[in-house]
Amino acid sequence: MDEELLFLEALEIGSLQDREAFLEKVCADNEPLRKRLRSLLAAHQTDDGLLESPLLLPLDQDSTALSDSSIGPYRVLGELGEGGFGTVYLAETTGGQPAYRVALKIIKLGMDTRHVVERFEAERLALSLMDHPHVAKVLDAGATETGRPYFVMEYVDGIPITDYCDQHQLDLAARMQLFAKVCRAIHHAHQKGIIHRDIKPSNILVTEEDAVATPKVIDFGIAKALQPQLLSPQALTHDQQVMGTPEYMSPEQAASRHHQVDTRSDVYSLGVVCHSLLTGQVPFARTTDESVDALRQRIQREEPKRPSATLARLSPDALGSVARARQLESNSLRGRLRGELDWIVMQALAKDANRRYDSALAFAEDIERYLTDQMVRARPPSVWYTSRKLLHRHRVRVLLYGVSLLLLLSLWASSSYQKWRFAQERAQQVAQNRERLEQALTEAGQWYR
């Protein structure tokens, strides 16, 4: 598992004895990893004075104490949320100009290692490259008095796209129209050489501008530049680090194959969001007692369910609730998803990146074809492709079945051959007996004469 994720998980364990047991379990024979984690945990406890800084509070204290604090030319009003590496605050500008609200993100305590800082700088650069109506704009950047980087983004007073659609009971067409705009925003980022890598509903906020629902993609906090010159060597992701939110990870992200992560990984995550907008469920939901590693293994090995098949597994009450949020009856919703919407989502969720849409724009355009009753480019998998995938996935079982079948065929062939030989021998014996009988009768006739 990723070292940073292990560190964060260990931080949540209050008892030192339980924390040590956790390290013993996850590190096993990896003594260097155990030592590094212990050092990080010790540094977190004694962070040479930084924990006393009034700028940021330890994660287990009330963050509302930051209200009315100033960071650069901004006054903090309260906390908005927490990401993997930073905490986002609502702030407003100060000074002579008219005050306006912004979102201010600062690296949180316990995460200020050199490579995290480099990633944070990469986020600031990534956002500055983009200018799109559905991407939250970067407005400013700087450093706190203690040297912690921060950047200021356009404040989006919205809610996650899935929540917005459910609260407003948007039908399927309205949901897909909204989602197509998100796909085009992600395509804009891809054109700038930026992969988001953490696309999920909470990073797609919907606000209303002139009574029109407007999605905004936020938090390129773990963005990876397609162009290597955008990142310093320290900012490049190591091969075994897991970046993203597990339920929305592409198979290559779940397998930590970061050299294979490209724009099609974002297409996969968009497919998960689309699946959720249609069904209220993600293809691979983490169960209560399931570890992150187990979920990642499922994402790599198992094929996702079609949206219509996902609905078939819901209880009648749950299915009814999902359907009502889309202004449909239960049976009608399943019927609407079968066919083209199933095909579109499943193409985005293909295990093989080469079988997905080759861009977020292609994904958006296929949705728009569906909305305008044109022929979509997504198609159900061919019989040959499905058979080949099944054979590959169950190759051990197929091999055993094949060997068993060969043995049965061999036994049948051997038995049939033995029966044939027995029949031949019987026929030959009967013929010989008949010949002897005829010869005896002939001789007897000659004797009587």
3-state secondary structure 299-360: HHHCCCCCHHHHHHCCCHHHHHHHHHCCCCCHHHHHHHHCCHHHHHHHHHCCCCHHHCCCCH
* Residue 26 burial (CB count, 10 A): 17
Output 224-229 pairs: Cβ under 8 A, ≥24 positions apart. 224/122, 224/194, 224/195, 224/197, 224/258, 224/261, 225/122, 225/125, 225/126, 225/193, 225/194, 225/195, 226/190, 226/193, 226/194, 226/195, 226/262, 226/263, 227/193
38: tokens are 């212990």
CA-closest candidate to residue 76, choices 89, 59, 60: 89
Distance, CA of 234 to CA of 4 (rounded, Å): 15
For 242-266, b/e burial (b = at least 16 CB within 10 A) is: bbbbbbbbbbbbbebebeebebbbb
CA-closest candidate to residue 345, choices 122, 179, 111: 179
Distance, CA of 72 to CA of 145 (rounded, Å): 9
234: tokens are 């320290």
CA-closest candidate to residue 22, choices 46, 43, 38, 4: 38
Distance, CA of 327 to CA of 33 (rounded, Å): 52
Q: Would you please indicate which residues are annotated as catalytic (active-site) residues?
A: 198
